[in-house]
Each structure stands twice: as structure tokens, then as C-alpha cells.
């Protein structure tokens, strides 16, 4: 009988277990459908999940609904934001609510490895505001459309990462690797929520300032919740930030949509200084374990009042450090006698009533004391400042206090500064009423290490402070091989600090025997070397700077430039540097600059400079300047010197090189003395004319006017003489190395060859015989050569039609005709005086007829003979030059 009972009970249990295990199978399709419908009906977002699992064994007596690889992506302004990406989202449902099939009751929520990015725009729009609105619903609390209802009693976050980024408040918070759980009955209006939190790294920034940076947080916070009044009260609790233990009690209530009522108190009175120092991220992350700290630390405060867009709660924060001492175990010296009292308070929540008061602070770096105070009041309406700082610091002593790796530091700093008064005294220009005075001096300061490219040495420097200006005097410094001597003054630093958009004005003088910019910039990184070490980046001129500066340096090394005796004036204003009479010696010549460099548009900086260049080496200029390489390629084949005046205006790229299509430049160049040899277009012209001497040209005092437009160099006509050959050159070439030049050639007739000259002489003898004249053919002939193609593959075309050869022949014909006409007119006048009026008329008619016939006969004869000459010459040249074409 007992066996039967046991078997029967076992069978019942098996049946029950099978029935329970089969429940998910029966309801899976229905639940999946309702999940999808609920998401689509209620959320305005892109929601995806890989699949859905249902279980009852692990979640018994509840039904577990698990969404795998769950993801929510925003729309519209947040279309690129992933609001949530969760490895597993598990909802534990009330089993009976599932069986009844009306509304599924959610009792527990578990998030496994969630990544949540909550973002608020400056406009206040939040990316989690994704619930669809329905104008047909009379109440915003109407949830009848949902197949689920919350009846939470437990929630859990495991290995999560959460970011809250609020641009409207300039607030940022990141919680890395958070494990958090809460237990409470959310179905009740009044209940206690017990939470446990462990955050590996907590970062909180406000206004760009990191108040907590990578801090480890542990907290157990019991919370009384009144949902009817939306009030949350913190009971006795413990919060641990790194090694600092805090207590936070009080309440937070949200009675409406705009106000937050705060009433909280916090304190860490029973703490050691080391625990407070653990909040300093760099110390905690690297050297905190090796840090010995003693002394008492106290932090206490409260916040009470209403927080909204127009008001703050009243608050009071007190920080005290008594008899503090900090020392690293591996170093011999310490910071001693640390005494600090600080209070930040606001009695009524009005921002302008905030007071920052540090009545006194004191510490000693080994035995060197540093004392000071700070008071700030009425920060909004009329900021009041009362500041004092006094101390002497042996920099070498710092190396015995702090673990400064790969660094050598020595020298003395002395400071004694005081400042006090309201900002309004500055606004009114009443600088004398603003009490500001003091000195900072540096003596024999030396600094070297991995953080700087070259060692820094400052034998002496002094800064003096008064209400009108800050004077920098007797500054002597050396950085690597570079040396500097400077003095000057900043004249309106108070207006700059307290005013709005008021530029900082200053005057400085800088003298140096050597400035090695390449050394100061440091060696290029591996990435820079593999990319292009010749490329520069845009130099941005600071805003609100109005400086005048004179510079004089005997030698300046920058990139491949070796510049001597650079001196002139620089003016910095409106993000523009103006050059005035900035002279220097480089590339064997002298350069003088007037103009400007502007970075008002950082994406498209501009230069507008007038250059005066004297006696510069052409080959060195070609090798140094890319603009010459691209727009004046003939310079590669030219040795000698040149002088030029150039007006140059251009946009610059991000590599600080000119954008060639934007160049607008013009000028006059004087080739003082140079030789052009090996230039292919000249070689081709020489071959076309069969005149070898044109392959090499010697230039002396050759003037050429040029202009650069749309990426082309336009050259106005200029002359070059090679022995007894005269060349007149004009045209253009472009960035693509294309050429379009016209060369007018004035060449001796003798250089055209014996056959051509014999034919011309025979023709002219015949003309003289028939016309009864004695005219000689000129010794030179003019024609044009058209040079096209590219610099490396030029083309040459000789233009013989309508050129100066025929003009010369026409001149000869006209002279012959004029001579014969004068002779006939003289004879006719003699006949006219011997006959009657009738005979005169007949004789005149006959004379005119004879004259006309004679003119036509001579003109035709000359024309025919000269045309034969030119046809022979053209045929000979065409036959000779055709292979070169």
C-alpha cells in the first residue's frame, strides 16, 4: 500500500511538473504577440530583440519572460542614439494573470548587461520621451491600451553601464559597471524601498568641471516612498566614495512638474585626510597606496528649498582640514601643517547671494610656507573678489615631495599677490580703486624631462602686478638651443578677466640670437613620419587678443628655412596677425614683408602679403617654395639671382599651403643675372629654327611683369636678347604644367641660310633694275613662334603668314612705287608748262594712264617674285621642322 501511495504521489508530482513546464509552450505565441503589440502601440521608437524565451522553473512561482538582445533606438532628433541595448531583459509575470489572459502583471524586472544612454538636448527634449501620445484619451494616465501593468516588488541591474548627458543643465554622469538592486512593493502608495548599489567607476561633471572622476561607490540606501505625494525620504544610510564614508539623510519631493523640493543633510565629520585625498583620481589610480596622510578632515552641509528653472535651494557646505600632512613613503620630504577652512553658502537660493569664503589656508612644502585667502561675493550682479597669496617655493624641493618621474626641476619662485574690490570699479574704468598689487619672481629655474622637447632654463624673470597692468621684465630664458630676452606689459587684464568680450591688450619686445622652431616643436611621431612630416597644421590666432610685438632674432630655423637677421613688428588683433616691415635674410637674399595672416575662419585661413625680395638665389627658391615649383617650373633650369615685388593673396588649406585656385597675385620680377639651360621648350624652339644657340640663354637685368589668376601664371611681354637675336615673350602656364606662349623673334637674315639669302638678293636686283631704283633688303627678319603642350612635352609652331617678313616686303614695294611716282610727276610738270590748256589736259590724261600702268606692272612683278621667295622658304622650313613638330 505504501508503495502505491509513493508511486501515486510521484506520478502526481511528475504530472504537475510537466504541466508547469508546458505552461510556457501554451502561452508563448499569445505572449509574444502581446509584447509586440504593446511595443508598437505605445512606443515611438525602433525596438528590436533577437528572440523571446519563456520559463517557469527558474522563476517559479512566476512566469519568466526574457527578451534577448533587446535594443531601443530613437527617432527624429535621436535617430542615431541607442537609448538602450540590453543583453537580456527579463520580466517575471504573475502566473495567474497570464492564465486569466486579461492583463499581465509584472512583478520583477531584471536587466543583464544593459547599456543605457539617456540624453537631453539644450532645448530640454529627452531621448527617453518615446511614449506615443493619443489625443483621443482623456487622461494621460490611461493605460488600457497596454497588455501589461506594473506591480513591481523587485528590480535588478547586473553589470550595467549608464550615461546621463543633459545639455540643458550642462550636466554629465557616467556609471560604469553598476550592480544595483531594489526591493519594495510598488503596488502600495506607501512602502519602503531597500536598495544596494555598487558602481565601479562614477563620474560626475557639471559645467565641464569633473567633481567626481572614476570614483568607486558603494551604498545601501533605505528609501521611504510616498507615491501619492511623490516624496522620497532617505533613512539612515552609508555611502562610501573610494575611501571616504559619507552619511546622507533627508527627503526629495516632486509635488508638480516643475518644482523639486529638497531637504537633505550630509556629513563626513569622522574621517581622515587620506580618505578625502582618495577622491583625487590621479592619486587614487596610481600612487594613493604609497601615500601617507594624517590629520583630520571634515565635510558637512545641507541643501533645503525648491529647485526649478528660476530658483535654487539654500545650501551650506563646510570643509575643514586640520594639522594635515602628506608624504610619499619613497620620498624624503612632505607637505606639512596643512590648515584649510572653506565655506560655500547661499542663505536663500538666490544665485547672486552665493558666497565662497576661504578665510585662510596654510601649508608648508617641507619648511617653505605658502599662505593665502579667498573671498567671492555677489558673483552675478557685481562680483567681489578678495584674494591674497604669499610664499616662497624651492622647486627642487618638490622633487623630494612628489614622485615626478623622468623630470628634473630646480630654481626659486617667490610670490606676493593681493587683489580686492568689485567688478564695477573695473567697468567704470576706476582702476585705481581696484586694489591689485604684487610680484612673482623666478630665479635660476631649470626644467627638463620627457614632457618637454628640450630643457628649459630661466635665469631670471619678474612679473609685477598693479591695477592698470601686469609688467613682465628682465625675462631671460633658454629652451634647448633657443634663447630669449623679453619684456612688456599687459595693460587691461582686469577688464579682460571681468569684462565681456574685451580684448586683452599688451606690448612686448622679444630679442634672440637663435630660435630653432623645429627643435621646440619636438621630434615627429611615428604616425607623423609615416604620413608626411612636411605638412603643417592650421595656426589658430587666439580670440580677444590685441598685442603689439617687436621681434629681433639673429637666426631663425623653421622647417627647411634658415633665416638670418629677422626683425620687424607684429600686431595681433581680431584673430589676425599683421606684419609691418618684417625683414629677414634667406636663400642668399633679403625679404621684406607687409601684410596679414587671418584665422577668423579656421576652416579657411587667409594670407594677404606684400613681398619685397632682393637678390634671392633662383635655385634655392625653387627647391624651397612649392608655389614656384608649380607656377614657375622654368626656375628648375635657371641658375642666378632675382629681385621681385609681389602682392600675394590666397586662401590656405589645413596644411597651411596655398589653395592655388584662390591665389590672386601680381608683381614685377627682375632677373639680375641668370642662365637658362636644359629647358625643354627652349630646346624644341632651337631645333625648330635650326639655331643651336637658343638652347642656352644668358639673362641680365631682364624685367618681367606677371600675374597669377585661377591657378595660371600670366606673363606680360618682355625681351630677351641672345647675341644678335631678339626674343619678345608673353603668355601663360598653369598648375597642370600646360603652356601657351607667343615668342616674337627678330633674327638676322644671314642666320636663315645661303640659299634663302641668294634668292632674296636676286629678286631685289631685278626689282631695282625694272624700277630704276637702288633699294636694299633689311638685315633682320621678324616672325612668331607659338609654344604649347606641357613643360616636359612642348610643341612649337612657326607662324609665317601675315608676319613681319611680308610687312618688310611691302615696305620695299611702297618705296619703289614712291620713287617712280615722284620721277613721273616731275617730268609731267615740265611738259605741262610747254603746251596749251587743251594740250595740258590731254597730256595729264596720258601721264595718269602711263603712271597707273607703271605702278600696276611694278607692284605685280614685286608681289610675284616675293611670293615665290616665301613659298620656297616655307617649303624648306616645313621639310626641315616637320619631325620636330
Q: Is the dihedral of CA 802, 808, 809, 814 positive or negative?
A: positive
Is 90 exceeded by the pLDDT of residue 353? yes
Instruction: Write down the pLDDT at residue 363.
Output: 94
- Cell 582640514 belongs to residue: 321
With beta carbons less than 8 A apart as the criterion, state whether 817 and 855 touch.
yes
Nearest Cα neighbor of 106 from 73, 76, 65 is 65
Label residues 838-865 b or e (16+ Cβ within 10 Å = b): eeeeebeeebeeebeebeeebeebbeeb
* Residue range 188-206: mean pLDDT, rounded: 88
Range of the domain at 89: 1-131+148-228
Nearest Cα neighbor of 445 from 485, 412, 407 is 412
Is 80 exceeded by the pLDDT of residue 593? yes
Using the 8-state DSSP alphabet, how is residue 133 labeled? P
What is the pLDDT confidence band of residue 858, given thresholds at 50, 70 and 90?
low
Is 70 exceeded by the pLDDT of residue 199? yes
Nearest Cα neighbor of 166 from 198, 108, 207 is 207
Using the 8-state DSSP alphabet, how is residue 642 labeled? E
With beta carbons less than 8 A apart as the criterion, state whether 232 and 253 touch.
yes
Distance CA 765, CA 767 (A): 5
Which ranges in 395-515 belong to alpha helices (H)?
395-398, 423-427, 493-498
Q: What does the block give as the cell for 632?
A: 614657375
- Cell 567697468 belongs to residue: 427
Is 90 exceeded by the pLDDT of residue 461? yes
Distance CA 414, CA 393 (A): 6
Distance CA 707, CA 775 (A): 45
Of 228, 259, 274, which closes a domain?
Answer: 228
Q: Looking at the structure, do residues 679 and 812 belong to the same domain, yes or no?
A: no
Q: What does the block give as the cell for 332?
A: 624624503
Lowest mean pLDDT segment, chosen from 282-286, 506-510, 681-685, 786-790: 282-286
699-745 per-position pLDDT tens digit: 999 999 999 988 899 999 999 998 889 999 999 999 889 999 999 98
Distance CA 746, CA 697 (A): 15
Which one has a higher pLDDT value, 182 or 863?
A: 182
The half-sphere exposure of 113 on its side-chain side, counting CA atoms within 13 A, is 6
Instruction: Write down the pLDDT at residue 873.
Output: 45
Label residues 787-818 b or e (16+ Cβ within 10 Å = b): bebbbeebebebeeeebbbeebbeebbeebbe
Nearest Cα neighbor of 505 from 466, 549, 569 is 549
Which one has a higher pLDDT value, 219 or 134?
A: 219
757-785 per-position pLDDT tens digit: 565 566 556 656 665 556 565 677 787 89
How large a percentage of the chain has pLDDT more than 90?
Answer: 37
What is the pLDDT confidence band of residue 33, given thresholds at 50, 70 and 90?
low
Label residues 306-323 b or e (16+ Cβ within 10 Å = b): bbeeeebbbbbbbbebee
Q: Looking at the structure, do residues 708 and 819 belong to the same domain, yes or no?
A: no
Of 710, 725, 740, which closes a domain?
Answer: 725
Distance CA 169, CA 204 (A): 13
Q: Looking at the structure, do residues 684 and 808 belong to the same domain, yes or no?
A: no
237-254 per-position pLDDT tens digit: 888 888 888 888 999 998
Instruction: Write down the pLDDT at residue 859.
Output: 57
Q: How many domains does the chain have?
A: 3
Chain mean pLDDT for the chain? 80
Q: Looking at the structure, do residues 53 and 178 belong to the same domain, yes or no?
A: yes
* DSSP string computed for 332-388: S--EEEEEEEEEEEESSS-GGG-EEEEEEEEEEETTEEEEEEEEEE-TTTS-EEEEE
Q: Looking at the structure, do residues 682 and 799 belong to the same domain, yes or no?
A: no
Asked if residue 61 has a cis previous peptide bond (ω within 30° of 0), the answer is yes
Distance CA 533, CA 525 (A): 9
Distance CA 233, CA 224 (A): 5
Instruction: Write down the pLDDT at residue 503.
Output: 85
Distance CA 487, CA 373 (A): 30
Distance CA 791, CA 787 (A): 10
Q: Could you tell me which residues are beta bridge partners of residue 742?
A: 730, 786
Instruction: Write down the pLDDT at residue 68.
Output: 87
Using the 8-state DSSP alphabet, how is residue 108 labeled? E
**393 phi/psi in degrees, rounded to 5:** -130, 125
With beta carbons less than 8 A apart as the criterion, state whether 88 and 66 touch.
yes
Class of residue 714 by CB neighbours under 10 A (exposed 0-12, middle 13-18, buried 19+): middle
Q: Is 693 helix (H, G, I), strand (E, B) or coil?
A: helix
Instruction: Write down the pLDDT at residue 800.
Output: 58
Q: Looking at the structure, do residues 72 and 219 belong to the same domain, yes or no?
A: yes
Q: What does the block give as the cell for 784?
A: 612668331
Whether residue 87 is contained in a domain is answered as yes
Whether residue 190 is contained in a domain is answered as yes
Neighbours of 773 (CB within 10 A): 18
With beta carbons less than 8 A apart as the criterion, state whether 97 and 103 touch.
yes
* DSSP string computed for 570-601: EEEETTEEEEEEEEEEETTEEEEEEEEEE-SS
What is the pLDDT confidence band of residue 22, given thresholds at 50, 70 and 90?
very low
What is the pLDDT confidence band of residue 529, given thresholds at 50, 70 and 90?
very low
Q: What does the block give as the cell for 370?
A: 605658502
Whether residue 758 is contained in a domain is answered as yes
Instruction: Write down the pLDDT at residue 46.
Output: 82
Q: Looking at the structure, do residues 688 and 779 belong to the same domain, yes or no?
A: no
Q: Which range among 68-77, 461-470, 874-883 has the greatest average pLDDT?
A: 461-470
What is the pLDDT confidence band of residue 658, given thresholds at 50, 70 and 90?
confident
Bridge-based pairing of strands 456-465 and 470-479 is antiparallel
Instruction: Write down the pLDDT at residue 452.
Output: 80
Distance CA 387, CA 436 (A): 9
Instruction: Write down the pLDDT at residue 145.
Output: 47
Nearest Cα neighbor of 92 from 148, 33, 39 is 148
What is the pLDDT confidence band of residue 519, given thresholds at 50, 70 and 90?
confident
Q: How far apart are the first and last CA of the chain?
A: 123
With beta carbons less than 8 A apart as the criterion, state whether 293 and 277 touch.
yes
Of 658, 691, 725, which closes a domain?
Answer: 725
Distance CA 439, CA 418 (A): 9
860-883 per-position pLDDT tens digit: 655 555 555 444 444 444 444 443
Instruction: Encode 704-761 in three state secondary structure.
Output: EEEEEECCEEEEEEEEEEECCEEEEEEEEEECCCEEEEEEEEEEEHHHHCHHHHHHHH
* Residue range 527-549: mean pLDDT, rounded: 69
Q: What angle do CA 484, 490, 494 make, to 5 degrees?
A: 150
What is the pLDDT confidence band of residue 815, given thresholds at 50, 70 and 90?
low
With beta carbons less than 8 A apart as the criterion, state whether 803 and 852 touch.
no
674-697 per-position pLDDT tens digit: 999 999 999 998 888 888 888 999
With beta carbons less than 8 A apart as the criterion, state whether 505 and 491 touch.
yes
Using the 8-state DSSP alphabet, how is residue 78 labeled? G
110-164 per-position pLDDT tens digit: 899 999 998 888 888 888 887 776 544 444 444 444 565 556 788 899 999 999 9
Phi-psi region of 830 (alpha: psi -120 to 50; beta: other; left: phi over 0): alpha
Instruction: Write down the pLDDT at residue 12.
Output: 47
Whether residue 211 is contained in a domain is answered as yes
Q: Looking at the structure, do residues 697 and 807 belong to the same domain, yes or no?
A: no
Q: Could you tell me which residues are beta bridge partners of residue 714?
A: 707, 732
Is 90 exceeded by the pLDDT of residue 485? yes
Q: Looking at the structure, do residues 547 and 685 belong to the same domain, yes or no?
A: yes
- Cell 610670490 belongs to residue: 415
Instruction: Write down the pLDDT at residue 106.
Output: 75
Instruction: Write down the pLDDT at residue 731.
Output: 95
With beta carbons less than 8 A apart as the criterion, state whether 78 and 112 touch.
no
Q: Looking at the structure, do residues 765 and 718 belong to the same domain, yes or no?
A: no
Q: Looking at the structure, do residues 721 and 649 belong to the same domain, yes or no?
A: yes
Q: Looking at the structure, do residues 607 and 753 belong to the same domain, yes or no?
A: no
Instruction: Write down the pLDDT at residue 31.
Output: 59
Instruction: Write down the pLDDT at residue 790.
Output: 93
How large a percentage of the chain has pLDDT more than 70?
Answer: 75
Distance CA 18, CA 633 (A): 91
Whether residue 823 is contained in a domain is answered as yes
Whether residue 592 is contained in a domain is answered as yes
Instruction: Write down the pLDDT at residue 841.
Output: 64
Whether residue 394 is contained in a domain is answered as no
595-627 per-position pLDDT tens digit: 999 999 988 899 999 999 999 999 999 988 888
Whether residue 376 is contained in a domain is answered as no
Instruction: Write down the pLDDT at residue 26.
Output: 46
Using the 8-state DSSP alphabet, how is residue 634 labeled? G
* Residue range 399-424: mean pLDDT, rounded: 88
Amino acid at each position: 500500500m505504501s508503495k502505491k501511495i509513493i508511486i501515486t504521489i510521484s506520478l502526481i508530482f511528475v504530472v504537475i511538473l510537466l504541466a508547469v513546464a508546458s505552461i510556457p509552450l501554451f502561452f508563448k505565441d499569445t505572449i509574444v504577440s502581446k509584447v509586440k503589440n504593446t511595443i508598437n502601440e505605445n512606443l515611438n521608437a525602433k525596438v528590436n530583440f533577437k528572440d523571446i524565451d519563456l520559463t517557469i522553473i527558474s522563476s517559479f512561482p512566476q512566469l519568466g519572460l526574457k527578451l534577448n538582445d533587446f535594443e531601443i533606438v530613437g527617432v527624429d532628433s535621436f535617430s542615431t542614439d541607442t537609448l538602450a541595448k540590453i543583453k537580456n531583459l527579463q520580466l517575471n509575470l504573475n502566473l495567474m494573470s497570464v492564465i486569466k489572459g486579461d492583463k499581465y502583471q509584472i512583478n520583477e524586472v531584471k536587466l543583464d548587461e544593459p547599456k543605457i544612454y539617456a540624453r537631453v538636448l539644450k532645448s530640454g527634449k529627452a531621448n527617453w520621451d518615446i511614449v506615443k501620445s493619443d489625443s483621443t484619451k482623456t487622461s494621460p494616465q490611461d493605460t488600457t491600451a497596454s497588455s501589461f501593468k506594473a506591480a513591481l516588488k523587485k528590480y535588478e541591474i547586473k553589470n550595467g553601464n549608464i550615461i546621463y548627458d543633459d545639455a540643458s543643465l550642462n550636466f554629465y554622469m557616467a556609471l560604469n559597471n553598476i550592480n544595483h538592486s531594489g526591493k519594495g512593493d510598488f503596488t502600495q502608495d506607501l512602502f519602503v524601498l531597500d536598495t544596494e548599489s555598487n558602481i565601479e567607476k562614477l563620474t560626475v561633471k557639471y559645467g565641464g568641471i569633473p567633481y567626481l572622476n572614476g570614483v568607486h561607490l558603494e551604498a545601501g540606501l533605505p528609501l521611504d516612498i510616498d507615491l501619492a505625494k511623490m516624496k522620497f525620504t532617505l533613512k539612515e544610510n552609508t555611502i562610501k566614495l573610494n575611501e571616504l564614508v559619507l552619511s546622507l539623510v533627508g527627503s526629495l519631493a516632486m509635488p508638480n512638474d516643475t518644482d523639486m523640493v529638497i531637504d537633505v543633510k550630509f556629513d563626513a565629520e569622522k574621517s581622515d585626510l587620506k580618505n578625502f585625498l582618495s577622491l583625487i583620481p590621479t592619486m587614487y589610480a596610481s600612487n594613493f597606496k604609497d601615500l601617507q596622510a594624517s590629520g583630520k578632515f571634515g565635510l558637512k552641509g545641507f541643501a533645503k528649498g525648491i529647485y526649478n528653472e528660476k530658483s535654487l535651494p539654500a545650501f551650506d557646505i563646510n570643509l575643514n582640514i586640520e594639522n594635515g600632512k602628506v608624504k610619499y613613503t619613497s620620498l624624503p620630504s612632505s607637505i606639512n601643517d596643512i590648515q584649510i577652512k572653506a565655506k560655500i553658502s547661499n542663505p536663500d537660493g538666490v544665485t547672486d547671494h552665493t558666497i565662497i569664503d576661504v578665510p585662510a589656508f596654510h601649508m608648508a612644502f617641507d619648511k617653505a610656507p605658502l599662505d593665502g585667502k579667498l573671498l567671492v561675493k555677489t558673483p552675478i550682479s557685481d562680483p567681489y573678489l578678495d584674494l591674497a597669496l604669499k610664499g616662497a617655493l624651492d622647486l627642487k624641493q618638490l622633487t623630494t615631495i612628489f614622485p615626478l618621474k623622468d623630470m628634473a626641476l630646480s630654481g626659486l619662485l617667490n610670490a606676493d599677490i593681493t587683489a580686492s574690490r568689485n567688478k564695477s570699479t573695473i567697468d567704470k574704468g576706476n582702476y585705481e580703486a581696484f586694489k591689485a598689487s604684487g610680484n612673482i619672481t623666478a630665479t635660476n629655474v631649470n626644467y627638463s624631462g620627457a614632457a618637454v622637447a628640450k630643457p628649459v632654463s630661466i635665469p631670471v624673470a619678474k612679473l609685477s602686478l598693479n591695477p592698470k597692468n601686469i609688467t613682465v621684465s628682465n625675462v631671460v630664458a633658454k629652451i634647448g638651443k633657443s634663447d630669449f630676452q623679453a619684456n612688456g606689459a599687459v595693460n587691461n587684464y582686469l577688464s579682460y578677466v571681468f569684462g565681456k568680450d574685451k580684448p586683452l591688450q599688451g606690448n612686448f619686445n622679444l630679442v634672440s640670437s637663435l630660435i630653432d622652431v623645429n627643435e621646440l616643436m619636438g621630434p615627429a611621431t611615428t604616425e607623423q613620419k609615416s604620413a608626411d612630416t612636411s605638412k603643417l597644421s592650421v595656426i589658430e590666432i587666439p580670440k580677444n587678443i590685441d598685442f603689439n610685438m617687436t621681434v629681433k632674432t639673429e637666426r631663425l630655423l623653421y622647417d627647411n628655412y634658415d633665416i638670418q637677421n629677422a626683425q620687424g613688428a607684429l600686431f595681433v588683433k581680431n584673430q589676425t596677425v599683421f606684419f609691418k616691415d618684417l625683414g629677414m635674410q634667406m636663400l642668399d637674399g633679403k625679404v621684406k614683408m607687409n601684410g596679414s595672416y587671418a584665422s577668423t575662419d579656421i576652416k579657411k585661413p587667409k594670407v594677404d602679403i606684400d613681398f619685397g625680395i632682393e637678390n634671392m638665389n633662383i635655385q634655392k627658391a625653387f627647391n624651397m617654395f612649392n608655389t614656384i615649383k608649380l607656377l614657375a617650373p622654368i626656375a628648375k633650369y635657371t641658375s642666378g639671382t632675382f629681385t621681385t615685388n609681389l602682392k600675394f593673396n590666397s586662401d590656405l588649406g589645413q596644411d597651411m599651403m596655398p589653395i592655388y585656385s584662390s591665389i590672386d597675385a601680381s608683381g614685377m620680377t627682375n632677373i639680375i643675372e641668370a642662365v637658362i639651360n636644359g629647358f625643354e621648350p627652349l630646346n624644341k624652339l632651337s631645333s625648330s629654327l635650326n639655331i643651336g644657340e637658343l638652347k642656352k640663354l644668358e639673362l641680365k637685368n631682364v624685367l618681367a611683369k606677371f600675374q597669377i589668376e585661377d591657378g595660371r601664371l600670366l606673363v606680360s611681354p618682355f625681351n630677351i636678347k641672345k647675341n644678335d637675336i631678339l626674343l619678345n615673350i608673353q603668355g601663360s602656364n598653369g598648375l597642370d604644367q600646360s603652356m601657351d606662349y607667343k615668342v616674337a623673334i627678330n633674327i638676322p637674315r644671314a642666320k636663315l641660310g645661303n640659299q634663302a639669302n641668294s634668292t632674296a638678293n636676286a629678286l631685289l636686283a631685278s626689282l631695282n633694275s625694272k624700277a630704276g631704283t637702288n633699294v636694299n633688303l633689311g638685315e633682320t627678319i621678324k616672325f612668331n613662334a607659338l609654344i604649347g603642350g606641357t613643360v616636359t612635352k612642348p610643341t612649337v609652331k612657326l607662324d609665317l603668314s601675315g608676319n613681319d617678313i611680308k610687312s618688310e616686303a611691302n615696305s620695299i614695294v611702297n618705296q619703289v612705287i614712291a620713287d617712280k611716282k615722284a620721277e613721273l610727276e616731275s617730268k609731267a610738270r615740265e611738259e605741262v608748262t610747254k603746251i596749251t590748256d587743251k594740250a595740258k589736259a590731254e597730256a595729264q590724261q596720258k601721264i595718269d594712264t602711263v603712271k597707273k600702268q607703271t605702278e600696276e606692272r611694278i607692284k605685280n612683278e614685286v608681289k610675284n617674285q616675293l611670293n615665290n621667295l616665301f613659298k620656297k622658304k616655307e617649303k624648306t622650313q616645313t621639310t626641315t621642322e616637320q619631325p620636330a613638330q
